[in-house]
């Protein structure tokens, strides 16, 4: 068997997409015009699939902070903090995030993916148990596999099933980490954290919440689903990313456990990865300050999210279970999804196309992510494009 033979199913899927005229993973933004618009195929296109929830990627404070850091500290760190030392900005960002979350300490990682990979694989090992929501992100699954711990899945957003599985573990529950997400990235549904935290307390397990899509989106102060649910004291580890609401790239883990600093030095994904560029850290710090100072961004985000959800629901589309900045138009027919995605792009709207096996329920979906930067007029244009693409597909 050839080394590359295992990739033939991927090649076949790519060929099928190309034959259908869809190149969803090779879309080129020829020019990014704003947080919500770009030129794609020479056409001014509304970006409705970027996870840019607060619309901060072009904010002058963030851009200026990045420019200053670029000029004073250069383009990159060229190594890990363990080997090359700590830039003052990295230390300051960890301190500011700890203050934001009201926790003892924070570790900053180079990406959100690496944050999940490193923390899960370092916290647990052989003899431990990872009890994860079945719809967890790929980075969670990969961290679990790397850990060597026993991996058990419980039914998506089902506290009763979680309770049953923890009860079966008996004394091993004390060495179990329960992993859920604040908002799930495909359908935009929230974790029932009040019930999950109660189950965790009852069995004496640990709780890790991935707030990647809920930072800046949920909670009175924008701290995420745990804040909104009032269970922050029950969450042992909060993991998230800078690449959504904060408009940059990077990740973090926040915790009140004093041992988190020990985890830092055992964490291979931290010790052996180059730390984020100073300009990225600077723009992230600026974005965090804006998130804290401007709750109206969050209110604007939800106004636009509810507007699009209501418009698409009224058209009869099957959507995710609740209004959210992530709005999934769920389709059973793959060919319909392909035709609609082409039709939307031709009408100047970019969304994410998700096909099996990437979709959680085996169907196809067109995934929209709404931004505080979207105007009501843009939201209405997105909805109108869905109506037209559903009726006629791609225009001639």
Distances from the Cα of 61 to the Cαs of 95, 171, 284, 297, 372, in angstroms? Answer: 20, 51, 10, 15, 17
Q: Which of 24, 105, 110, 185 is catalytic?
A: 185
Decide: 372 and 302 in contact? Cβ < 8 Å. Answer: no
How many C-beta neighbours within 10 Å does residue 45 have?
23
Q: Which of 90, 244, 255, 275 is catalytic?
A: 244
d(CA 180, CA 196): 9
Q: Which two tokens stand for residue 104?
A: 């003892």
Distance of CA 157 to the CA centre of its chain: 17
Q: Where do runs of H (alpha helix) occur along the chain?
A: 8-19, 60-73, 81-84, 88-101, 112-123, 138-147, 159-169, 193-203, 225-229, 260-266, 268-271, 278-293, 295-314, 334-346, 376-392
Element (H, E) at 33: strand 31-34
Q: Which of 213, 279, 369, 374 is catalytic?
A: 213
The partner residues of 206 in beta bridges, in order of sequence, read 177
Element (H, E) at 154: strand 150-154
Q: Which positions ≥6 away from 133 have C-beta within 8 Å? A: 153, 154, 156, 157, 179, 180, 181, 184, 191
d(CA 366, CA 328): 6
d(CA 157, CA 193): 9
Q: Is residue 244 among the annotated active site residues? A: yes
Q: Coil, helix or strand for 104?
A: coil
Q: Roughly how many angstroms between the first and final C-alpha of the chain, as a whole number?
A: 44
Phi, psi of 351 (to 5 degrees): -130, 175
Query: Which residues carry out catalysis?
Result: 185, 213, 244
């Amino acid at each position: 068997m050839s080394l590359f033979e295992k990739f033939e199913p991927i090649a076949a899927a790519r060929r099928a997409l190309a034959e259908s005229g869809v190149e969803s993973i090779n879309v080129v933004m020829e020019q990014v015009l704003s947080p919500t618009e770009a030129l794609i195929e020479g056409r001014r296109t509304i970006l409705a699939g970027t996870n840019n929830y607060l619309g901060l990627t072009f904010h002058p404070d963030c851009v200026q902070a990045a420019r200053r850091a670029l000029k004073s500290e250069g383009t990159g760190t060229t190594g890990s903090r363990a080997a090359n030392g700590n830039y003052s900005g990295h230390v300051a960002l960890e301190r500011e995030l700890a203050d934001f979350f009201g926790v003892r300490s924070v570790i900053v990682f180079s990406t959100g993916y690496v944050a999940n990979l490193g923390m899960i694989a370092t916290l647990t090992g052989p003899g431990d148990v990872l009890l994860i929501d079945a719809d967890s992100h790929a980075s969670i699954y990969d961290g679990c596999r790397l850990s060597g711990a026993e991996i058990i899945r419980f039914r998506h957003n089902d506290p009763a099933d979680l309770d049953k599985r923890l009860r079966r573990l008996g004394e091993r529950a004390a060495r179990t980490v329960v992993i859920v997400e604040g908002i799930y990235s495909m359908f935009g549904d929230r974790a029932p954290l009040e019930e999950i935290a109660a189950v965790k307390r009852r069995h004496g397990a640990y709780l890790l919440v991935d707030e990647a899509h809920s930072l800046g989106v949920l909670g009175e102060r924008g701290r995420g689903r745990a804040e909104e649910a009032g269970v922050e004291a029950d969450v042992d580890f909060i993991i998230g990313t800078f690449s959504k609401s904060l408009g940059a790239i990077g990740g973090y883990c926040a915790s009140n456990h004093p041992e988190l600093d020990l985890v830092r030095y055992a964490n291979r994904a931290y010790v052996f990865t180059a730390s984020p560029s100073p300009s990225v850290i600077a723009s992230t710090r600026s974005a965090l300050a804006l998130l804290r100072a401007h709750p109206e961004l969050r209110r604007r985000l939800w106004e636009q999210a509810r507007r699009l959800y209501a418009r698409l629901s009224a058209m009869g589309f099957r959507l995710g279970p609740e209004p959210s900045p992530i709005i999934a138009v769920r389709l059973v027919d793959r060919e319909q999804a392909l035709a609609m995605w082409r039709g939307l792009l031709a009408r100047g709207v970019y969304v994410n196309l998700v096909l099996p096996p990437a979709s959680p329920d085996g169907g196809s979906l067109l995934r929209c992510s709404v931004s505080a930067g979207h105007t009501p007029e843009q939201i209405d244009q997105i909805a109108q494009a869905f109506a037209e693409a559903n009726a006629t597909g791609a225009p001639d």
